């Protein structure tokens, strides 16, 4: 059985969302994880994930292994103590540690493919809860936005702990995603922001409030079909993320290059420190902004239409 899950970008509100402010995220279907589970002729659970050079039998992996632990969790959730021999093949076009949700997408696709193969039907809500449990193991204090947008593969307006809200896109708009190529685990930037918040809660609560207001305004602009207003909001959000210390020279450099090439606005997206930035562009400018990002050092770009 096969299942897949897309990548994602956070449009507005990363980090502040961990502190209960709203954030907006959309799936990026140009990149995805595919998982295929088949019966195996040889005993055991054989996992193949060429992207991370993993070819191993489940029992040889440490119990907290990023992929092995998902498989164990699924067996335990289904009450399977003696799993049948299986072959699990994982392929991905989502770059790892780049803010595009590769970890959550592997978990979501893997859980779905195993559930289908083992004939344990799961609702999206159940998949989402399981992916969130796994995100907590690897990311410390995740808000839950990544697993939600990836599991449901829909635009989401997300507030931690509240029922999932999707939002309507009044008029489509184009985003160019630029990858710094710098691997930056979300856990570290989220942990660093937490330390800073603990040291000066007044200052950081003000910054989170500002970011939360931007997410709210952005949702109104998107729903009312005025996406051009998002440019200025992205620039403001990026400046606030710089104050949270989660930008980097590489991200700032790409953000500036996008703006200089005619983007309407730009910001880092996701955990920051490395990974990806996003720029709002008029459709006809997508190629020139993308080329400008590549000339400024982006390792790759993706153009995506939000609709
Ligand atoms: C990561 O994609 C988004 C962060 O806000 C972390 C989280 O919400 O769990 C940085």
Q: pLDDT per residue over 148-200, tens digit each?
A: 999 999 999 999 999 999 999 999 999 999 999 999 888 899 999 999 999 99
Residues 6+ apart with CB under 8 A from 299: 179, 180, 181
The pick from 271, 272, 274, 275 for probing ligand 1's pocket by mutation, whose C-beta has the most ligand atoms within 8 angstroms, reads 271
Residue 97 has pLDDT above 80, yes or no: no
Answer yes or no: is the C-beta of 10 below 6 A from any ligand 1 atom: yes
Answer yes or no: is the C-beta of 18 below 6 A from any ligand 1 atom: yes
**Which residue has its alpha carbon closest to ligand 1 atom 2?**
270
Residue 166, pLDDT score: 93
Beta strands in the chain (DSSP E): 2-12, 23-39, 45-49, 54-57, 86-92, 156-158, 165-166, 173-179, 265-269, 276-281, 300-306
Determine the distance separating the centroid of ligand 1 and the alpha carbon of 171, expressed in angstroms.
Answer: 26
Residue 96, pLDDT score: 83
Residue 139, pLDDT score: 78
Answer yes or no: is the C-beta of 179 below 6 A from any ligand 1 atom: no
The CATH homologous superfamily to which domain 173-306 belongs is: GHMP kinase, C-terminal domain (3.30.70.890)
As given in the structure block, the two tokens for residue 78 are: 């289904």
**Residue % of the chain over a pLDDT of 70:** 100
The pLDDT of 49-53, averaged and rounded, is 92
pTM (2 decimals)?
0.94
Report the nearest atom of ligand 1 relative to the CA of 18: 8
Collapse the DSSP code of 137 into the 3-class scheme (helix H, G, I; strand E, B; otherwise coil) and give the result: helix
Answer yes or no: is the C-beta of 104 below 6 A from any ligand 1 atom: no
Residue 140 has pLDDT above 90, yes or no: no
Answer yes or no: is the C-beta of 142 below 6 A from any ligand 1 atom: yes
User: pLDDT class for 32, splitting at 50, 70, 90?
Assistant: very high
Active site residue 146: yes
Residue 81, pLDDT score: 94
User: pLDDT class for 141, splitting at 50, 70, 90?
Assistant: confident
As given in the structure block, the two tokens for residue 114 are: 């195993």
User: pLDDT class for 106, splitting at 50, 70, 90?
Assistant: very high
Query: Are 22 and 133 a contacting pair, CB within 8 Å?
Result: no
Pick the catalytic residue from 146, 192, 200, 220: 146
- Taking the C-alpha atoms of residue 55 and residue 124, their distance in angstroms, rounded to an integer, is 29
Collapse the DSSP code of 164 into the 3-class scheme (helix H, G, I; strand E, B; otherwise coil) and give the result: coil
Residues paired with residue 54 on neighbouring β-strands, in sequence order: 49
**Which residue has its alpha carbon closest to ligand 1 atom 9?**
142
Domain ranges (residues) in the chain: 2-166, 173-306
The pLDDT of 32-61, averaged and rounded, is 96
Answer yes or no: is the C-beta of 148 below 6 A from any ligand 1 atom: no
Q: Out of 6-10, 101-105, 197-201, 249-253, pick the least confident.
A: 101-105
Residue 191, pLDDT score: 94
Pick the CATH number of 2-166 from 3.60.20.10, 3.40.50.300, 3.30.230.10, 2.170.190.11: 3.30.230.10
Give the residue from 47, 121, 123, 129 showing the smallest Cα distance to 90. Answer: 47
Residue 245 has pLDDT above 90, yes or no: yes
Query: Are 15 and 205 a contacting pair, CB within 8 Å?
Result: no
Give the residue from 234, 212, 229, 213 showing the smallest Cα distance to 170. Answer: 229
């Amino acid at each position: 059985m096969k299942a897949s899950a897309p990548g994602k970008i956070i449009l507005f509100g990363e980090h502040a969302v961990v502190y209960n402010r709203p954030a907006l995220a959309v799936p990026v279907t140009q990149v995805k994880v595919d998982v295929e589970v088949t019966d195996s002729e040889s005993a055991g659970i054989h996992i193949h994930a060429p992207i991370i050079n993993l070819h191993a039998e489940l029992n040889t992996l440490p119990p907290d292994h990023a992929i092995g632990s998902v498989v164990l969790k699924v067996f335990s959730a289904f009450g399977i103590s003696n799993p049948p021999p299986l072959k699990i093949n994982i392929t991905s076009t989502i770059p790892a540690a780049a803010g595009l949700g590769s970890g959550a997408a592997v978990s979501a696709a893997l859980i779905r493919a195993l559930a289908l193969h083992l004939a344990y039907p799961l609702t999206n809500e159940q998949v989402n809860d399981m992916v969130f449990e796994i995100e907590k193991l690897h990311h410390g204090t995740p808000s839950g936005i990544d697993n939600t947008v990836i599991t449901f593969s829909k635009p989401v307006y997300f507030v931690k702990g509240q029922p999932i809200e999707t939002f309507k896109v009044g008029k489509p708009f184009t985003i160019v995603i630029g990858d710094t190529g710098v691997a930056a685990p979300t856990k570290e930037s989220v942990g660093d922001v937490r330390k800073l918040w603990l040291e000066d809660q007044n200052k950081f609560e003000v910054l989170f409030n500002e970011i939360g207001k931007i997410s709210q305004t952005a949702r109104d602009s998107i729903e009312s079909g005025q996406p051009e207003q998002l440019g200025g909001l992205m620039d403001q959000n990026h400046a606030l993320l710089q104050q949270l210390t989660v930008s980097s020279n590489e991200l700032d450099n790409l953000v500036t290059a996008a703006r200089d090439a005619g983007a309407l606005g730009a910001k880092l997206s996701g955990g920051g420190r490395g990974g990806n930035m996003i720029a709002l562009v008029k459709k006809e400018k997508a190629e020139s902004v993308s080329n400008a990002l590549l000339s400024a050092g982006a390792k790759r770009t993706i153009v995506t239409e939000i609709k």
